[in-house]
């Protein structure tokens, strides 16, 4: 079945899954960052029965507001967890905008291997989540995800925060020049303990340099799932791949 059509059909079934899922998506939660010297906001998705579970894996999503609105990711999570295709996880959707002025988009400052933004996660956001939710503090249970410049940000976290994040999920990361830089840096850097998801569209989505980046990662021996689909640098490309990336990192562990 065409991947995009499959995604639309899945959305049509989501109401049925929601009857059983009883998940919760928080309102925006404000946090002041001393590392960045400004406030940010995020929302937290918790699955059904979270109080009765042990420590859960976590997914941190940059550009979280877009994944929720355009990608319907909370509904996708309900469907994937209810069906047993992924294990229950906690997802933190980080908003890249100024919470006091949503017209101010900070992603161009935050996402380009900004060490202070990385430190915000390491010193402030991760401890806040593990204190307030039953979230695993094991790096092997933690993934960061983003699209476009947010995908580049995930690649940066692979280099700068691999002690905290074992999973790097990149949907159409950056542009051709940035992809060339990633090829150089990952090619020269000793292989890191990372599992990766990488995807591109095949219509004006920097797929040529994306394939080269894929080849660099494979040559290094990274555990990598690569997807290339029809459509361009937009949600017709990204939305149908959300289940693929979730299953790559969070499929139920075999006994």
Q: What is the pLDDT of residue 99?
A: 98
Which residues constitute the domain of residue 196?
3-250
Could you report the per-residue pLDDT of 52-104, keeping only the tens digit for each?
Answer: 567 999 999 999 999 999 999 999 999 999 999 999 999 999 999 999 999 99
Q: DSSP string spanning 27-76?
A: --EEEEETTTTEEEEEEEEE-TTGGGS-PBPEEEETTHHHHHHTS-HHHH
Count of structural domains, the chain: 1
Cβ contacts of 173 within 8 Å, gap of 6 or more: 146, 147, 148, 149, 150, 151, 152, 154, 155, 179, 182, 198, 210, 213
pLDDT for position 5: 52
Question: Does a structural domain hold residue 255?
Answer: no
- pLDDT of amino acid 224: 98
User: According to the model, what pLDDT value does residue 168 have?
Assistant: 98
How far is Cα 160 from Cα 74, in angstroms, rounded to an integer?
28
CB neighbour burial string for 165-184, b if at least 16 within 10 angstroms, e if fewer: bbbbbbbbbbeeebbebbbe
pLDDT grade for 14, boundaries at 50, 70 and 90? very low
pLDDT tens digits, residue range 120-178? 999 999 999 999 999 999 999 999 999 999 999 999 999 999 999 999 999 999 999 99
Extended beta strands in 47-166, E state: 58-61, 90-95, 97-98, 101-105, 142-147
Q: Does 75 reside within a domain?
A: yes
Res 50 pLDDT > 90:
no
Reading the block at residue 218, the tokens are 């494979």
Residue 175 near residue 147 (C-beta atoms within 8 A): no
Model pLDDT, residue 7 = 54
Q: Which residue reads 């933004």 in tokens?
A: 117
The CATH number given to whatever domain includes residue 131 is 3.40.50.1820
Does some domain include residue 102? yes
Half-sphere exposure of 84 (CA within 13 A, CB side): 2
Residues with Cβ within 8 Å of 184's Cβ and at least 6 positions away in sequence, in order, are none
Bridge partners of 142, per DSSP, are: 58
User: CA 200, CA 213: separation in Å to the nearest integer?
Assistant: 11
**Which pLDDT score, from 0 to 100, does residue 42 have?**
98
Q: Is residue 23 part of a domain?
A: yes
Taking only the tens place, the pLDDT of each residue in 162-201 is 999 999 999 999 999 999 999 999 999 999 999 999 999 9
Which residues are within 8 A (CB) of 157 and not within 5 positions of it... i.e. 6 or more apart? 118, 121, 144, 164, 165, 168
Quote the CA–CA distance of 155 and 112 in Å, as a whole number: 10
């Amino acid at each position: 079945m065409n991947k995009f059509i499959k995604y639309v059909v899945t959305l049509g079934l989501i109401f049925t899954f929601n009857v059983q899922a009883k998940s919760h998506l928080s309102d925006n939660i404000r946090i002041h960052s001393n590392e960045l010297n400004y406030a940010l906001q995020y929302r937290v998705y918790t699955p059904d029965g979270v109080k009765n579970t042990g420590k859960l894996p976590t997914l941190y999503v940059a550009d979280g507001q877009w994944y929720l609105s355009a990608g319907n990711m909370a509904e996708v999570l309900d469907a994937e967890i209810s069906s047993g295709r992924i294990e229950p996880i906690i997802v933190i959707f980080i908003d890249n905008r100024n919470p006091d002025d949503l017209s101010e988009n900070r992603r161009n400052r935050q996402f380009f291997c900004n060490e202070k933004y990385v430190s915000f996660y390491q010193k402030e956001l991760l401890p806040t989540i593990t204190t307030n939710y039953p979230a695993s503090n094991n790096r092997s249970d933690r993934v960061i995800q983003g699209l476009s410049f947010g995908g580049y940000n995930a690649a940066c976290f692979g280099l700068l925060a691999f002690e905290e994040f074992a999973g790097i999920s990149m949907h159409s990361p950056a542009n051709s020049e940035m992809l060339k830089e990633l090829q150089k840096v990952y090619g020269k850097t000793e292989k890191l303990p990372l599992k990766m998801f990488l995807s591109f569209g095949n219509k004006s989505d920097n797929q040529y340099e994306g394939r080269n980046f894929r080849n660099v990662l494979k040559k290094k021996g990274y555990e990598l799932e690569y997807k290339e689909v029809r459509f361009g640098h937009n949600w017709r490309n990204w939305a149908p791949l959300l289940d693929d990336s979730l299953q790559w990192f969070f499929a139920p562990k075999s006994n």
